[in-house]
Structure formats: structure tokens, C-alpha cells
Chain A
Amino acid sequence: MPTAFPLPSDLSPATVTNTASLLRIVALSLISGAAIASRLFAVINFESIIHEFDPWFNYRATRVLAAKGFYEFWNWFDPTAWYPLGRVVGGTVYPGLMATSGVIYNFLHALNLPVDIRNICVMLAPGFSALTAWATYMFTKEMKDESAGLLAAAFIGIVPGYISRSVAGSYDNEAIAIFLLMFTFYCWIKALKLGSALFGTLAAVFYFYMVAAWGGYVFITNMIPLHGLVLILMGRFTSRLYVAYSSWYVIGTLSSMQVPFVGFQPVSTSEHMAALGVFGLLQIVAFVQLVRSHVSSKQFQDLLFVVLVTAGLFGFAAFVGLTYKGAIAPWTGRFYSLWDTGYAKKHIPIIASVSEHQPTAWPSFFMDLQFLIFLFPAGVILCFHQLRDEHVFVIIYAVMASYFAGVMVRLMLTLTPVVCVASAVAFSTLLDTYVDAAEPDDAVAPADSATPPESGATAKKPKKAAPAAPSTGSALSDLVAAAVPNKKKGIYGLDTRFAIIVNAVGMLAFFVFHCTWATASAYSSPSVVLASQNADGSQHIIDDFREAYYWLRQNTPETAVVMSWWDYGYQIAGMADRPTLVDNNTWNNTHIATVGKAMSSSEEVAYPILRKHDVDYVLVIFGGLLGYSGDDINKFLWMVRIAQGVWPEEIQEPNYFTPQGEYRVDEHASPAMKNSLMYKMSYYRFSELFGGGPSTDRVRNQQVPKVGPTLDYLDEAYTTENWIVRIYQVRSEDLLGRDLKSANAFAKGKKRKRSKPVSRRRPIL
């Protein structure tokens, strides 16, 4: 048989296998190293710090766990959150992440390695990304072979779509969840392939871990039943499916109910009903199969079929009936908004307001997945080509995940693994084909006249012919066995191989550059600390957030209640250690709306609200001086909307726009806008900075009025270096019983207008 380039012929198969296995181990460890290293930009550029918002809560909870032990953590009631309501943390949290760090912490301390809990939290996500790469390798190995597995591991190790949620310091549930997701899927595929109750149980155990770690476990809860259902519909019911599914479902469901936050949801909410329904269906199908194998009568088989369909319909009707009666809770808003995309905006603005819940435009897909995004359809085609049971899984996963990723930016994270797997399958098939030294035997070619000379029509031909060919193993085993397929297949010449390989390697190299750039420039900012560049190009750190939080920590009594928009609740609790009204655990819409109302009303209306909630300090984020666009004025409309949802009479969104329908902060701003507490706190004394010149808000590019707003009920307490955080102290009531406005006016020596003689004797507030 001709080869395109000479091959060594004196290698024993054992040598080849051993070398391949050694290379695999080396490659996997290098991939793990690359995965961890590329996530350290954040630590190198800034410092070992917890990022963003939610991680600050996780970190705070982990500190409690590490300091006081698991039992205390489990029963932890936090009176400082959601003041004055408090929060039962143990029952309203997915404890998997904190428990993982706690175990690592205790393990290291048992070895007398005194590692700080913060460093464990910061490094947890990079560490788990290495495990994710390994789990993806195992998963892809089941789809094709080891070489595809290595490619998939390398892809997921550095792909920005996953890095965006797992850089060092991003201590969030997703940090460990993607590993659990991939490993559960791997166990499921393995269980299905082998019909093994052991792997089914393993899948259930990791499913339990996933349930304990991330709300996204619902994705697994629905993916596996969907896979089972499609297999049944394709007529691929086997006892392997039965064993795998039953062991996964029973053990997984029972164990998932042990997580307090989940509780009885697996048997009482719609999200989990698909899994239960498929479980029931499988029992019926298995029963029918059993009876069928013992009975030969055609009529009886027909009868059984009817029984099967009736039972299915009956089950579905029972499900609908129970939902209607309220025994099964209908889909939660968050889940429902994935299907009816207008739902959240109409009914739950608090969900629609989160930036992670916005739909995804195409540049995000390309940014996060680069060339994988167009290699991925080719991989799905290859899955269709082989269409074993596990390929069906990848296909379903691909469709579901691409839809979900399109609806919500944050679900890009669930799309990333399948894209890596599918494109690794495609890419490694490409390399297999073009690296393989075997050339088609031209001597055979004329004899094999079955191939029509018209190449235009060949597109269909090989697809039909290919399944007839023996399933090709890895390139290496091909090489060793030198098996000649029946069908003439192969690449002629060296230059063609060279062209493809150079092209492929070039694309991989470009991918690496892209990932490095995306990680370094877009995904490694802690958002607690901001970076900008000085005129000479050196880095300038903007540290206003921590400056403000530490000011609160050191200058206010420990019981001082701080009001801010909910985004900053976790950070205030974590860094300033002060009670907050609302935080990122957005469980109480009314409480959030109360804060929204206080922020969007005039001082006179807001003051009683502040006093009733014992608020001592109000904190606003203002980016107008620096051009920081994520500030409260830009979020203000959401506060208005959320407040309007509860007080439609008092707060109305159109009032905050100019009559022309523009959102303005300059002198044309609407009266409701100008009088709102948020506007006043943001622009208080802002124009003084410009010394009489035009004072420009650099986020909205508008000139604010020269005479800024005045405050009667609040005092400016602290403003950070770049004015990003401004803290106001709420005044206590006037000692003489006047309202604060007239007291202020009196103090300034203003004479009261004669038309208002009554205000001299205002009742006490």
C-alpha cells in the first residue's frame, strides 16, 4: 500500500501504545497548566482579590464556614442582610461551592499548610478549570477517540466563553459547576453505553453535587430525560438505557432533595416533571418489551401499544390537572422567561434588569468561541453521520444550548462545552484524514468503477457509503493495523496534506492568540478595582469602591444601616461589614421596590421611608466625572420600573423622561428626575468641581445645570477620589420639631415667604 511519506516500520505495537499513552498524559497536564495559567491574568494585573458582586457573598459565607464549622454555617441566620428582615442563609443558598472550599481549607490545614481562605476562594475556579478540561477529555473520548478528547480539553481549557466565568477571583457557583456538568454527562454517557448501574450511580452522585452547587442543575435534569425520550422515540430503547436512567433518576432525585434550598421541588415543580415523566415512560416501555418478548399474538402487541399510548396521555393529563390544582408548581418566572422571552420584562423587571439576562448579539458568540463557533456545525454533522446513542446526546445538547445561549448571555456558559466537544470531533477528524500517511491505491482505482466520475454528485455518495465502511478507530491504530477500507479513501500527494495542516495549525495558533487577548482585555477585570492608563501608558488603578467601603467600615458604628441599590449589597456586607437593606439575592421584590421608590422620589417623600427603615447612610455610584458607565443614573430607570411595579400610582416611568421622550440629566431634565433623590445625590455639588465652567457628565455627555441640586434631608458624608462612590448621611429629625427643609432655610437666613405663614407650626414628622 502506498504512503505519502515514509513511515517507520520497525515499531512494535506495544511501543506505539505506550508512547501514545505517555503523550496523552503529558498533553493533559500541559493543558491543565495552560488552563490554570491563563486564568491568572486577574491576579497578576491586579491582586488576589474576590471579583464582582455575588462572589463577595460566597466569600463571606465561606469565611463563616471556615471559622465556625459546617454546622454553624448550616444554621446561619444573617440579621444584617435585608434589614430589618434578615436572611436564613443556610436554607437559601447552594452550599456546594462553600463546602468545597471548606473541605480544601480543612484538608490543607490538616497538612499544616496555613493557606488563607481568601486564596483558596480566589484560586478555586482556575483549579476546577483543569478538572473541567479533564472531564471534557473523558466525555469527548466517548464520542470519538483520545485525540479528539485532547483537542476538546485544550479548547475548553482556554476558550473565553468559559474563562469569562472562571478567572481567578471569580468565586461563583459556575466555577465548579461546569466541571460537575461535564462529569455528570460523562458518567451518564458511560452508563448508557455500558448499561452500568455503577456509572448511573456515579452520575447521580455528581448530579447531587451539581444540585448542591448551582441552580443550573435544571439543565441536567432536563437534558438527560430528553436524551432518553429521543432514544425511545427513535426506537432505541435498550435495557442499557433502562438501567442507566433508572439508577440515575432514583438516586439522583432522592439525594438532590437533601439540599434544603431544593427540598421537595424535584417532585412538585414543573421544571422537574420531565425527568419523572420519562422515568414513568421507561417503566411502561420496559414492561411492554418484557411482555412482548413472551407473547407472540399480533393483536396483543397492538393492544399493548394502545395501553402504552393511553398511559402516556393519562400521565400527561394528570400532570396538567395537578398543575392546575396547584399540587405541582408551574414553571418559575426565571425558567419561564427562557421560553416566553417577553415574559420577564412584563412581569418580573427584576430579572430583566440583570445584565447577564440580556439576549446575546452575535459578536459575543464570536468573542467567546472564535473559530469553534463555525467548526461546531461540522462536528454536529459528523455526529449525525455516526449517530450512536451518545451522538444523539451531543445533537440535542447542541440545539438546546444554542437556543438558550441566544436568549441569555450568561447561558453562553452551557453552550461552550458542547461547542468545544463538537468542534474537537470535527477538527480531529480533519487532522486524522490529512495526517494519515496512507494514499489511495491508484491501481485499484480503475477497477473500482462503481465510483462515478462525476464529482459533483459525490457529495451524497460517500455519506451513504461511509456507514458501510468499518468504523475507523484512531489514526494511530489505523496506522498500525494499516487496514485498507473497502471504499477507496485517502488523500493524494504531500502538498495537499501540507496545505491543510498548515491551515489548521494556523487556525489553532490564531485561536490561542485570540483567547489570550480576550482573557487579558475583557474578562480579567475584578470590577471592584478598575484600571485605566496614564498618559505615559502605565497602568493607573482606580480603587474607589474599596476606599468607600473601608471608609464605612472605619468611620461608622457597626449597626449603621446602609442603603444602596441591590447591586452593591453583597459588596457592602463583605467589605464594609454593615447591614444593608437589599442585596444581590433578590428574593424580596417589595423590599427592593421600596429602595427603588426612595431613590426615585423627592426628598420629602423619601425621608420617611429612610427613617422607617433606620437608614443611616445612603450610598450611590456615580460615574459622571470619570466616565464609568455602570453607575446608578444609568440603572435608574430600572429602579423606577421596579418601584412602579409595586406603586404604580406614585412612581411612573414616563415622568422621568422629557416630553420629547429623552432621558436627560441636564437642565431639560424632567421635574421628577431633577427632584429625585438619586439625581440629587449624584449631582450634588458636581458643578462646583468645574469652577464655573461647563460641567459635563462624561457618561451621558450632557452638561448638568450650573446651579446644582440642594439637599435638605441628607448630608454628604464622603465622596471618593474619583467621585465613583458617594455616601450621604441621613439627618435625624430637627430638634425643634420643624421639618428639615424649613429648618435649613432658617439656618441659611432665608426669610419665609409671606404666602406660607402656616409652616411655622408644622406638626412633628
Chain B
Amino acid sequence: MHLLPLLALLSLPFARAASDDAAHKKLVALAAAGGGLIKLDAASYDLLTTPNRDWSASIQFTALDSRRRCSPCKEFEPSWSAVAKAWTKTPAVHRDTHFFATLDFDDGQTVFQKLGLQSAPVVHIHHATEGPRATGKTGVSKYDFSQGFDAEPLAQALSSHTPIRIPYSPPFDWARWTTVGAGLLTFAVLLRFIAPILQSRWTWAISTILVSLVMTSGYMFTRIRNSPWMGGDGSWIAGGFQNQFGQEVQVIAIVYGTLGFAFTMLIMVIPYQATAQRQRFQIYLWSTIIMLVYSILIVLFKVKNRGYPFRLLL
């Protein structure tokens, strides 16, 4: 009677295969029910990430409940759903070998604890361990959020783990193109009326000056680095030479603009004054403004560059 255990042992792989098949069917059904996205809890998480699987899965860990106050989660959620939805458009042969799933913190705290996750959102990719798509990788790949929460880089990154590329294409931006179209139309209609403004050199002069003032005040720095408008502690000027807040752009542009305007007054307006008295008054007025504002500028610069040895009035 030694045969029986042996038989049982022999049949074990088959039994396991059968149960895996059942699990797979269940997952397919779950995915279909959720519109391509499986909403997980602790139990189905274990099912999805069972060690013997011939499917792969990408799982989003999130905390959407408003009590959790996870604004990045909410920001990322639409992108995740859009990519998961795009995956449903692939043929069933491929579709059913990769699953998209979401585990909310409130549905599976134990899983979060088990994985030691302290922040959300997190995306894990589990590779297939058996079958034709087995990669031999047992570990979990993580999605790197360095490119933001947008759907496009996400789809691109996940595509390297799916059997075929995720057919994601960004939705047509109706609002944007309508605005552009409407703007062009308005421009064409109003062209007759605004033509004199457009042809005036001073319109162009003002826009040129504004552009160069804003650019030389570090506007592009704040755009590229996504600088905050002001510091967390309420300060509006950032310490450090290679750093600045959004508000500094305005202050510096105004300072430069005031100084430039004062010089323009001295050069272009004051020589044409009618009486000596008025002219004298204006000359002293603008000279004082120049000295004062320039001193303020130096003070601001000293905040940024502590080693600056010079100062004016202030």
C-alpha cells in the first residue's frame, strides 16, 4: 500500500494545475466584471500573486478614501484606469495573461502591512513564474514615478512587462483644441479692429519688454523646476544662489521694470518738459527712485548671495 501516497504525490502537480486554472478563470471573470481592472482585497491579492502563476499582474496600491487624504492617489487613479481600460482592447489570448488590479488601503490593510508599504500610490509588477511567459524573475518590479502620474509613460513602462504593447493612446483633448479654434476664429473676426493695435510699434515694444523682463527674472527656472509659489514657512524669497520661488519672478521683474522705466523717463520724456522747475523736480524724483530701487535690488541679491561685499544706500 505504498502506492497510494505515491499516486497522490504524482497527481499533485495536476491538481495544482487544475486549481491554478480555476484561479485564472476566476481572475478573468473578476477582470471582466471590473472593466479590465480587478478590485482586490486581501484574499484575492493572494490569489492574484500566487507563487505558481502563468500570468503576470500589475497592481496599484492606493488609498482613495478621503479620510486618508492621499491627493497623489487621486491624481494617479485616472491614469491607472485609463491604461487598464486600454488593455481590455487587446485580443483575449494576450489580455488574459496580464491583469490590472487595484488594492485600496481600506480593503487590504494586512497586505500593506505585510509588504511594509508606507506611502501610496505604489505600482508593483508581478511576473509570470510558470508557463510560456515565465521570466525566471521572482521579485517584484516597481514602477518609477519619476515621470509623474501621467498615463502615457505608465503605459510605456508597463508595456515592457505585458505580452504585447498596451494600446494606450491619450484621449483627444477637446477642450484644448476648441479653445485654440475659438481663439483663432475670434482673432480672425476681430482682426479688422485690432489691426491698428497690432501694427503699432509700442504694442510690440511692450510685449518685447515684458517677455525679456519675465525671462531674465528666472521665470523659466520656476517652470522647469516646478518651484513653489512661496516657501512652506511663508517666506517668499528662497535662500541659495541657484534657487528661487515663483513669487520672486514677479518682484524682480517689477524691480527691473521700475529701473528700466526710470531710465526711459530720464532719456525720452524729461528733456521735453516745458518748464525748468518741472524738469528739475522730475530729474531728482527719478534719480532718487533709481538709487532707492537699486539699493533694494542689492539687498535682495545679498539674501541670495551672502558673500556679496557691496551695498548701496540700504
The answer to whether A and B interact is yes
Asked if B272 and A458 make an inter-chain contact with CB atoms under 8 angstroms apart, the answer reads yes
Task: Please tell me if A455 contacts chain B, counting CB pairs below 8 Å.
Answer: yes
Question: Nearest Cβ distance between residue A346 and chain B, in whole angstroms?
Answer: 6
Contact with A along B269-289 (1 / 0, CB 8 A): 111111110111011100100
Task: Please tell me if A514 contacts chain B, counting CB pairs below 8 Å.
Answer: yes
B271 touches which of A405, A406, A489, A654 (Cβ 8 Å): A489
Q: How far is B273's CA from A148's CA once the two chains are assembled, in angstroms?
A: 25
Q: Which of A182-190, A355-363, A709-717 contacts B (4 or more CB under 8 A)?
A: A355-363
Question: Nearest Cβ distance between residue A724 and chain B, in whole angstroms?
Answer: 22
Asked if B279 and A491 make an inter-chain contact with CB atoms under 8 angstroms apart, the answer reads yes
Task: Please tell me if B180 contacts chain A, counting CB pairs below 8 Å.
Answer: no
Q: Which residues of B contact A513 (CB under 8 A)?
A: 310
Q: Which of A72-80, A214-222, A378-386 contacts B (4 or more CB under 8 A)?
A: A378-386
A378, A463, A644 interface centre (most CB from chain B within 10 Å): A378
Q: How far is B201's CA from A381's CA once the two chains are assembled, in angstroms?
A: 10
Which residues of B in the span 178-234 have a Cβ within 8 Å of any Cβ on A? 201-202, 204-205, 208-209, 211-213, 215-221, 223-225
Asked if B259 and A361 make an inter-chain contact with CB atoms under 8 angstroms apart, the answer reads no
Q: How far is B238's CA from A362's CA once the two chains are assembled, in angstroms?
A: 11
Question: Nearest Cβ distance between residue A641 and chain B, in whole angstroms?
Answer: 8
Question: Nearest Cβ distance between residue A531 and chain B, in whole angstroms?
Answer: 15
Q: Which residues of B contact A362 (CB under 8 A)?
A: 216-218, 221, 244, 248-249, 252
B260, B272, B305 interface centre (most CB from chain A within 10 Å): B272
Question: Nearest Cβ distance between residue A705 and chain B, in whole angstroms?
Answer: 22
Task: Please tell me if A708 contacts chain B, counting CB pairs below 8 Å.
Answer: no
Q: How far is B158's CA from A648's CA once the two chains are assembled, in angstroms?
A: 11
Asked if A402 and B271 make an inter-chain contact with CB atoms under 8 angstroms apart, the answer reads no
Q: Which residues of B contact A69 (CB under 8 A)?
A: none
Q: Which residues of B contact A488 (CB under 8 A)?
A: 272, 274
Q: How far is B276's CA from A361's CA once the two chains are assembled, in angstroms?
A: 43
Task: Please tell me if A608 contacts chain B, counting CB pairs below 8 Å.
Answer: no
Which residues of A in the span 392-420 have a Cβ within 8 Å of any Cβ on B? 395, 398-399, 402-403, 405-407
The A contact surface, by secondary structure, is helix
B267 touches which of A364, A382, A451 (Cβ 8 Å): A382
Task: Please tell me if A316 contacts chain B, counting CB pairs below 8 Å.
Answer: no
Q: Which residues of B contact A403 (CB under 8 A)?
A: 211, 215, 220
Q: Which residues of A contact B244 (CB under 8 A)?
A: 361-363
Task: Please tell me if A555 contacts chain B, counting CB pairs below 8 Å.
Answer: no
Task: Please tell me if B66 contacts chain A, counting CB pairs below 8 Å.
Answer: no
Asked if B274 and A407 make an inter-chain contact with CB atoms under 8 angstroms apart, the answer reads no
Task: Please tell me if B113 contacts chain A, counting CB pairs below 8 Å.
Answer: no
Q: How far is B249's CA from A27's CA once the two chains are assembled, in angstroms?
A: 38
Task: Please tell me if B307 contacts chain A, counting CB pairs below 8 Å.
Answer: yes
Closest chain A residue, CB of each to CB of B219 = A406
Task: Please tell me if A628 contacts chain B, counting CB pairs below 8 Å.
Answer: no
Number of interface residues of B (CB under 8 A): 76
Asked if A399 and B211 make an inter-chain contact with CB atoms under 8 angstroms apart, the answer reads yes
Q: How far is B259's CA from A465's CA once the two chains are assembled, in angstroms?
A: 24
B272 touches which of A395, A430, A462, A493 (Cβ 8 Å): A462
Q: How far is B255's CA from A42's CA once the two chains are assembled, in angstroms?
A: 34
Asked if B208 and A395 make an inter-chain contact with CB atoms under 8 angstroms apart, the answer reads yes
Known A381-B209, A455-B278, A500-B287; judge A433-B267 contact (CB<8 A): yes
Q: How far is B136's CA from A21's CA once the two chains are assembled, in angstroms?
A: 83
B269 touches which of A382, A458, A652 (Cβ 8 Å): A458
Task: Please tell me if A86 contacts chain B, counting CB pairs below 8 Å.
Answer: no
Contact with B along A365-387 (1 / 0, CB 8 A): 11100010111111011101101
Question: Nearest Cβ distance between residue A3 and chain B, in whole angstroms?
Answer: 15
Closest chain A residue, CB of each to CB of B268 = A462
Which residues of B in the span 155-171 have a Cβ within 8 Å of any Cβ on A? 157, 160
Closest chain A residue, CB of each to CB of B199 = A234
Question: Nearest Cβ distance between residue A743 and chain B, in whole angstroms?
Answer: 28
Closest chain A residue, CB of each to CB of B205 = A384
Q: How far is B220's CA from A342's CA once the two chains are assembled, in angstroms?
A: 11
Q: How far is B306's CA from A521's CA once the two chains are assembled, in angstroms?
A: 13
Interface size class of A (residues with CB under 8 A): 35 or more
Asked if B290 and A503 make an inter-chain contact with CB atoms under 8 angstroms apart, the answer reads yes
Q: Which residues of A contact B248 (CB under 8 A)?
A: 362
Task: Please tell me if B294 contacts chain A, counting CB pairs below 8 Å.
Answer: yes
A363 touches which of B212, B271, B272, B305 (Cβ 8 Å): B305
Task: Please tell me if B85 contacts chain A, counting CB pairs below 8 Å.
Answer: no
Q: Which residues of A contact B257 (CB under 8 A)?
A: 377
Known A362-B244, A387-B201, A652-B144; judge A380-B221 contact (CB<8 A): no
Asked if B260 and A375 make an inter-chain contact with CB atoms under 8 angstroms apart, the answer reads yes
Q: Which residues of B contact A660 (CB under 8 A)?
A: 118
Q: How far is B119's CA from A378's CA once the two chains are assembled, in angstroms?
A: 52
Task: Please tell me if A763 contacts chain B, counting CB pairs below 8 Å.
Answer: no
Task: Please tell me if B71 contacts chain A, counting CB pairs below 8 Å.
Answer: no
Which residues of A in the span 436-466 have a Cβ within 8 Å of any Cβ on B? 442, 445, 451, 453, 455, 458-459, 461-463, 465-466
Task: Please tell me if A649 contacts chain B, counting CB pairs below 8 Å.
Answer: yes
Q: Which residues of A contact B291 (CB under 8 A)?
A: 503
Which residues of B in the span 115-159 have a Cβ within 8 Å of any Cβ on A? 116, 118-119, 137, 141-142, 144, 146-147, 153, 157
Q: How far is B265's CA from A499's CA once the two chains are assembled, in angstroms?
A: 15
Asked if A360 and B201 make an inter-chain contact with CB atoms under 8 angstroms apart, the answer reads no
Asked if B264 and A378 make an inter-chain contact with CB atoms under 8 angstroms apart, the answer reads yes
Q: Which residues of A contact B209 (CB under 8 A)?
A: 377, 380-381
Closest chain B residue, CB of each to CB of A454 = B274
Q: Which residues of A contact B146 (CB under 8 A)?
A: 641, 653
A402 touches which of B215, B272, B282 (Cβ 8 Å): B215
Q: How far is B118's CA from A660's CA once the two chains are assembled, in angstroms?
A: 8
Q: How far is B118's CA from A70's CA once the two chains are assembled, in angstroms?
A: 63
Closest chain A residue, CB of each to CB of B284 = A499
Known A362-B244, A362-B249, A365-B216; judge A426-B287 contact (CB<8 A): no
Asked if A517 and B309 make an inter-chain contact with CB atoms under 8 angstroms apart, the answer reads yes
Asked if B144 and A426 make an inter-chain contact with CB atoms under 8 angstroms apart, the answer reads no
Question: Nearest Cβ distance between residue A445 and chain B, in whole angstroms?
Answer: 7
A406 touches which of B147, B220, B265, B294 (Cβ 8 Å): B220
Contact with B along A477-506 (1 / 0, CB 8 A): 000000000011111110110011001000
16 CB-based A-B contacts, threshold 8 Å? A359-B224, A361-B241, A361-B243, A361-B244, A362-B248, A363-B242, A374-B260, A395-B208, A398-B208, A403-B211, A403-B215, A493-B280, A499-B284, A499-B287, A517-B309, A649-B137
Interface residues of A, Cβ cutoff 8 Å to B: 341-342, 346, 358-367, 371, 373-378, 380-382, 384-385, 387, 395, 398-399, 402-403, 405-407, 426, 429-430, 433-434, 442, 445, 451, 453, 455, 458-459, 461-463, 465-466, 487-493, 495-496, 499-500, 503, 507, 510, 513-514, 517, 521, 641, 644, 648-649, 652-654, 659-661
| A-B contacts besides A378-B261, A378-B263, A659-B116, 20 pairs, CB < 8 Å | A361-B244, A362-B216, A362-B244, A363-B242, A364-B242, A365-B217, A374-B256, A398-B208, A402-B216, A406-B216, A406-B219, A442-B276, A455-B273, A462-B271, A489-B271, A491-B271, A492-B280, A500-B266, A653-B144, A653-B146
